[in-house]
Amino acid sequence: MQLPILQDQFNYGKGKVCVLRGAISDTWTDDIGSNYFKNYRAEERHAIGRLAESFGIAPMISIVATDNVSAFPILQPERQRIVVHLVNYDINYEKDAIREKMDVVVNLPSADFLPGRVAARLYAPGDEPESLQVKVEKGHISFTVPQLRISAAVVVAGE
């Protein structure tokens, strides 16, 4: 499938390489991914999301105002846990502040190395760790972060 943001795509080894449209120079990269991280415009984030969905990748964050919230899962099979780093990029430039997000739902695929019952603990700067309710069904784990200021981490591990 050729999407408008792709210049080219080709197979390489066991994977696929996708080349984003845009110019590259010694001092500037002008593709949709680089531009999103320069200005955080919603239309660029949605285009990146459509590209990910074309590969069968589902979003990990499912709240209405997700345009500027990212989740980065770190798999740690040797410790039987997943650490999910959440970053809120929703900047109110007039007030020079981050717009807090409420009730951020995170969905991630379950991992084979997790034990039967899992728990999630929220670690946010300046707050005490907090236990979150976890829902596990059909190979997926979900939990809700009640409040996301600038950033947080959630550790998903055995109870």
Residue 77 zone, left/alpha/beta (φ > 0; ψ -120 to 50; rest): alpha
Span 30-86, pLDDT tens digits:
888 888 778 877 788 788 888 888 887 777 776 544 568 888 899 999 999 999 999
User: Over the stretch 108-120, which tens digit does the pLDDT of each residue have?
Assistant: 988 999 978 899 9
Residues 83 and 125 in one domain: yes
- Mean predicted lDDT score pLDDT of the chain: 87
Q: How many domains does the chain have?
A: 2
Residue 61 domain flag: no
H or E stretch at 23: strand 22-24
pTM, two decimal places: 0.70
Are 101 and 145 within one domain?
Answer: yes
Looking at the DSSP bridge assignments, the partners of residue 97 are: 92
Structural domain boundaries enclosing 109: 69-158
| Cβ-Cβ contacts under 8 Å for 27 (sequence gap 6 or more) | none
Residue 111 and residue 152 in one domain: yes
Position 11 scores a pLDDT of 93
Residues 6+ apart with CB under 8 A from 3: 47, 50, 51, 54
